[in-house]
């Protein structure tokens, strides 16, 4: 399934990918730094004089210019958030490694990348990241997942536990849906890497996505691979893969 944003399935995959990004982002530790605040004492010890000797009586933040009293929004404005996103080349290489797709054999995929490369993040700054970047990432992930599950040389060795060769009724019966989801999470995010609540929320949303993608499709191995493309696209384009 290549992502088509003119149909319900395409928008569903887009919304799930963005939700996975929200789950991840709100569970990460954001490193905050004070500009010119940390003072080096020796090779092994660093202290923050702002916290060791808090300002009082209109004094200024140590290391500051002294022009303003460091309170409220002024203090917040001095903080730098240490968060980054992979740039266009890093995303391209990451997708190749995680899917196992040999890009030299995929002319269509290379052409898609060339067409949308200017829409992908051009640097690692999260401040420059926007919705257009996320949509381009999802489009590229869709092409990688389409290639992965269109050729047996890729999909036959993709999963550890899930049987991609079964018809959809058999593949997704019993614990089949969760088996596919867990295998993909382990492959793209790593096993037990993300906080448990992030994984559980992701599993819930992806389970719903599978049910939605199955609507109107026949019972076949092609359907099984089509659903796999949707789950693959959502996870491959998510923040745990694309953020630094």
Q: Would you state the structure tokens that stand for residue 27, as one six-digit string?
A: 């569970």
What pLDDT is recorded for position 9? 64
Q: CA 4, 112, 117: angle at the middle one, nearest 5?
A: 110
Cα separation, 186 vs 17, in Å, equals: 16
pLDDT at position 23 over 70: no
Query: What b/e sequence results for 35-50 when a residue is b if at least 16 CB atoms lie within 10 Å of its CB, and e otherwise?
Result: eebeeeeeeeeeeeeb
Contact (Cβ atoms closer than 8 angstroms) between residue 243 and residue 13: no
Computed over every residue of the chain, the mean pLDDT equals 80
What pLDDT is recorded for position 80? 47
Contact (Cβ atoms closer than 8 angstroms) between residue 224 and residue 171: yes
Model confidence pLDDT, tens digit, residues 74-106: 544 444 445 689 999 999 999 999 999 999 999
Contact (Cβ atoms closer than 8 angstroms) between residue 211 and residue 161: no
pLDDT at position 183 over 70: yes
């Amino acid at each position: 399934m290549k992502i088509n944003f003119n149909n319900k399935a395409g928008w569903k995959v887009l919304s799930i990918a963005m939700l996975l990004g929200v789950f991840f982002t709100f569970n990460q530790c954001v490193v905050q730094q004070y500009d010119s605040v940390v003072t080096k004492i020796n090779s092994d010890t660093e202290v923050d004089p702002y916290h060791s000797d808090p300002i009082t009586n209109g004094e200024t933040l140590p290391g500051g210019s002294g022009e303003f009293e460091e309170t409220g929004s002024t203090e917040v404005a001095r903080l730098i958030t240490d968060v980054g996103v992979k740039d266009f080349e890093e995303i391209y290489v990451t997708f190749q490694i995680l899917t196992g797709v040999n890009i030299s054999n995929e002319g269509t995929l290379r052409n898609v990348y060339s067409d949308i490369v200017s829409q992908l993040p051009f640097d690692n700054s999260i401040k420059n990241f926007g919705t257009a970047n996320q949509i381009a990432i999802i489009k590229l992930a869709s092409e990688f997942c389409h290639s992965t599950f269109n050729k047996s040389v890729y999909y036959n060795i993709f999963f550890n536990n899930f049987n991609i060769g079964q018809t959809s009724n058999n593949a997704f019966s019993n614990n089949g849906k969760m088996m596919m989801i867990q295998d993909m999470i382990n492959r793209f995010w790593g096993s037990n890497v993300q906080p448990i609540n992030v994984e559980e929320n992701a599993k819930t949303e992806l389970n719903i996505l599978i049910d939605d993608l199955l609507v109107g499709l026949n019972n076949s191995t092609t359907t099984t691979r089509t659903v796999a493309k949707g789950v693959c696209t959502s996870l491959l384009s998510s923040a745990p893969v694309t953020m630094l």
